């Protein structure tokens, strides 16, 4: 594979970040599980409704009127928009989406903790190493240029966002540490 | 009338104004696709444009078609199609083209390995970049992921359904034993379903990428349009697919041209019945009609003189 390009205006910086993330697993084998899971077949398998994309018909899961090999989309809920396409045999009824559940918020929280736990240490280490390389110095100069080119208002936004992320990361690390201590005490 | 149009009639034909609009959009989108994809190719895989110029041109054409269809689908749904949606459609076209090339062009062992690695990408987000072509694919995918929330349930499901249909298509080619116990009728039915699902899920994913709110009443009409693209495409590639040992529904038929005409007629009627009459539906039907006539020509040209998978018929 040829070397990465050395000009990096705008989107190419993002490309380099995306490619750098993929090298994390190779550099620390065994440490990482999933980065992001697009595959939601497990959710689809337990969805109570199935929408036949070829015929445009909504069924309850397992309805005997579903044609063999129909291209089905799983639906966790069916809002009233779907009811005019409801199968007359299994007669699915609308289910309104509940407001954001406490469990969803907890999932988001655990997701954040796991990301910080998974990446914070290794990113900092890699960032320090990368800063010393020729590529890193080149990228650093370009990031400086990009930052200099921003207007005062844009700089303010970037500073606020980075500051907030830093605070979130620090808070999560301390929370995570607290949780681990509590868990350790519980095991004693 | 389109250039190369035969005397065959369809249930709906675009008027001159509609043809002119679609041709104008094709020009605009081709230029936009160049603007989106060429700098990425130049940065991450510059040899691709030089050493595989015909393939690069084909990628631009496929992405232009994808952008044109994406524009029509957005209009069908009633969603805006601006610079961002244009960029999303172009990136999606580039990703589809390269992903297909990984699965189709590097031998059976590589096909199996790529299917496994795509499974891993969708399950875990990891994709070990090994070649310049893979790096180009991954950068295009990363840019697409940055433009659109890929964790939205319908986007995730459409992505996985498309991947499953592509995988089945590839495995039927790699492992001929999978169909040896089937009768000829069963084989045709299986390959017809594979083409239906590949095309149908391709257009559903494209639509939910460019138009986040897809009403359930539009799904069947769009799915039908996507499937029709695949049947037409397979008819155009009838001879190259046979030469490459790839079975499709179209190249299992003894008289594919009349069969395709029946399929086009039936799908046009479905689209007319399922999609609301608006500029988007007209554009989608006009693109399909043009595609149908040019692929009939491609089939005839390749029957007489051969050809390659990279030939562009536009």
Q: Would the CB atoms of A15 and B40 count as touching at under 8 Å?
A: yes
What is the tens place of the pLDDT at every residue in B197-249? 999 999 999 999 999 889 999 999 999 999 999 999 999 999 989 888 889 99
For residue A18, the chain B residues in CB contact (below 8 A) are 138-139, 142, 146
Same domain, A174 and A145: yes
Please tell me whether residues A154 and A119 are part of one structural domain: yes
Give B219→chain A minimum CA distance, Å. Answer: 6
User: What's the average model confidence in pLDDT over B29-43?
Assistant: 96
Contact B313, B295 (CB under 8 A): yes
State the average pLDDT over residues B154-178.
95
Contact status, residue A155 vs residue A144, Cβ threshold 8 Å: no
Compute the distance between CA of residue A49 and CA of residue A47 in angstroms, rounded to an integer: 6
- Full domain range(s) for residue B248: 16-304
Q: How far, in Å, CA of A126 to CA of A123, rounded?
A: 5
Looking at the structure, tell me whether residues A138 and A182 fall in a common domain: yes
Between A155-169, B17-31, B70-84, B282-296, the lowest mean confidence (pLDDT) is in A155-169
Whether residue A111 is found in the same domain as residue A182 = yes
For residue B212, the model assigns a pLDDT of 84
Regarding whether A147 and A59 lie in a shared domain, the answer is: no
pLDDT of residue A8: 41
Mean pLDDT of B59-78: 98
Q: Test A35 with B124 for CB contact under 8 angstroms.
A: yes
Mean pLDDT over residues A24-37, rounded? 71
Question: What's residue A34's pLDDT?
Answer: 78
For residue A79, what pLDDT band results from cuts at 50, 70 and 90? confident
CB spacing of B123 vs A74 below 8 angstroms: no
* Mean pLDDT, range A139-163, rounded to an integer: 65
Residues of A in contact with B123 (CB under 8 A): 34, 37-39
Contacts of B135 in chain A (CB under 8 A): 1, 19
Residue at B230 is within a domain: yes
**Average pLDDT over every residue of B162-186:** 95
Could you give the ipTM of this predicted complex?
Answer: 0.91
Indicate whether B82 pLDDT > 80.
yes
> pLDDT at position B203, please?
98
B314 inside domain: no
CB B14 within 8 A of CB B22: yes
Distances (CA, A) of B57 to A23, B138, B188: 31, 20, 32
User: Could you give the number of structural domains in chain A?
Assistant: 2
Distance, CA of A178 to CA of A175 (rounded, Å): 5
Question: Confidence class of residue B45 from pLDDT cuts 50, 70 and 90?
Answer: very high
The sign one gets for the Cα dihedral B116, B118, B122, B126 is positive
Q: Is residue B10 part of a domain?
A: no
- Looking at the fold, whether A149 and A68 belong to one and the same domain comes out as no
pLDDT in tens, B188-205: 999 999 999 999 999 999
Does A146 share its domain with A55?
A: no
Domain of A56 in residue numbering reads as 49-85
The pLDDT, as a whole number, for residue A18 is 83
Mean pLDDT computed over every residue of chain B: 93
Question: CB-based contact (8 Å) between A26 and chain B?
Answer: yes
Whether residue A2 lies inside any domain: the answer is no
Which chain B residues touch A74 with a CB distance below 8 Å? Answer: 157
**Share of residues in chain B with pLDDT > 70 (%):** 94
Q: Chain B closest CA to A186's CA: distance in Å?
A: 32
Domain identity same for A16 and A65: no
B229 in Cβ contact with B176 (< 8 Å):
no
Give the separation between CA B90 and CA B29, rounded to whole angstroms: 9
Residue B266: inside a domain: yes
Query: What is the tens place of the pLDDT at every residue in A100-118?
Result: 454 555 555 555 555 555 5
Indicate whether B121 pLDDT > 50.
Answer: yes
State the average pLDDT over residues B293-307: 82
Which candidate from B121, B132, B151 shows the least CB-CB separation from A1? B132
Residues A81, A105 within the same domain = no
- Kindly state the percentage of chain A with pLDDT values over 90: 23
B40 contacts in chain A (CB < 8 Å):
11, 15
Q: How confident is the model at residue A6 (pLDDT cuts 50, 70, 90)?
A: very low
* pLDDT, position A134: 67
Q: At residue B193, what are phi and psi to the nearest 5 degrees?
A: -70, -40
Residue A74: helix, strand or coil by DSSP? strand
Checking if the pLDDT of A129 tops 70, the result is: no
Give me the pLDDT at residue A7, please. 42
Chain centroid offset of residue A151 CA: 30
Helix (H) or strand (E) holding A109: helix A102-132
For residue B288, what are its two tokens?
């399909």
pLDDT at position A164: 58
| A71–B130 CB contact, under 8 Å | no
Overall domain count for chain B: 1
Half-sphere exposure of A71 (CA within 13 A, CB side): 29
Distant-in-sequence, close-in-space partners of A133: CB < 8 Å, separation ≥ 6: none
The C-alpha of B184 sits at a distance from chain A's nearest C-alpha, in angstroms, of: 18
Give the chain A residue whose CA is nearest to the CA of B150.
A38
Q: Do A14 and B159 touch (CB under 8 A)?
A: no
Q: What is the pLDDT of residue B40?
A: 95
């Amino acid at each position: 594979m040829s070397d990465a390009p050395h000009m990096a205006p705008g989107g190419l910086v993002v490309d380099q970040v995306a490619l750098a993330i993929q090298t994390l697993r190779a550099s620390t084998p065994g440490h990482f599980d999933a980065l992001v899971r697009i595959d939601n077949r497990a959710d689809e398998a337990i969805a109570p409704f199935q929408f036949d994309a070829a015929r445009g018909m909504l069924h309850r899961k397992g309805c005997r009127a579903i044609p063999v090999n129909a291209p089905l989309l799983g639906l966790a809920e069916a809002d009233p928009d779907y009811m005019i396409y409801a199968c007359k045999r299994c007669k699915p009824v609308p289910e309104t989406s509940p407001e954001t559940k406490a469990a969803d918020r907890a999932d988001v929280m655990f997701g954040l903790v796991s990301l910080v736990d998974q990446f914070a240490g290794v990113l900092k280490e890699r960032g320090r190493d990368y800063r010393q390389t020729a590529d890193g110095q080149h990228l650093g100069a370009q990031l400086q240029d990009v930052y200099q080119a921003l207007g005062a208002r844009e700089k303010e936004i970037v500073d606020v966002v980075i500051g907030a992320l830093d605070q979130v990361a620090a808070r999560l690390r301390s929370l995570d540490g607290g949780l681990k201590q509590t868990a350790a005490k519980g095991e004693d | 009338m389109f250039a190369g149009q035969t005397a065959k009639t369809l249930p709906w034909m675009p008027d001159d104004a509609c043809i002119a609009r679609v041709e104008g959009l094709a020009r605009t989108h081709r230029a936009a696709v160049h603007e989106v994809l060429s700098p990425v190719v130049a940065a991450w895989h510059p040899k691709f444009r030089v050493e595989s110029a015909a393939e690069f041109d084909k990628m631009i054409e496929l992405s232009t078609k994808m952008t044109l269809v994406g524009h029509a689908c957005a209009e069908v749904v009633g969603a805006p199609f601006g610079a961002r949606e244009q960029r999303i459609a172009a990136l999606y076209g580039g990703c589809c083209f390269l992903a297909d090339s990984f699965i189709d062009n590097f031998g059976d062992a590589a096909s199996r390995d790529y299917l496994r690695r795509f499974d891993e990408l969708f399950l875990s987000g990891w994709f070990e970049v090994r070649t310049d072509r893979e790096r180009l694919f991954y950068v295009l995918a990363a840019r697409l992921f940055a433009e659109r929330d890929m964790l939205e349930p319908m986007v995730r499901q459409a992505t996985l359904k498309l991947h499953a249909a592509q995988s089945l298509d590839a495995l039927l080619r790699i492992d001929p034993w999978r169909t040896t116990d089937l009768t000829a009728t069963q084989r045709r039915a299986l390959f017809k379903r594979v083409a239906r699902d590949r095309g149908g899920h391709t257009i559903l994913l494209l639509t939910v990428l460019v138009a986040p709110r897809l009403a359930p009443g539009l799904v069947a009409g769009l799915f039908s349009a996507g499937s029709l693209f695949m049947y037409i495409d397979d008819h155009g590639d009838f001879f190259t697919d046979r030469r490459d040992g790839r079975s499709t529904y179209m190249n299992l038929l003894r008289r594919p041209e009349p069969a395709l005409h029946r399929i086009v007629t039936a799908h046009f009627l479905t689209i007319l019945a399922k999609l609301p009459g608006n500029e988007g539906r007209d554009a989608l039907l006009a693109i399909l009609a043009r595609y149908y006539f040019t692929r009939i020509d491609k089939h005839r040209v390749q029957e007489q003189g051969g050809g390659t998978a990279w030939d562009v018929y536009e």
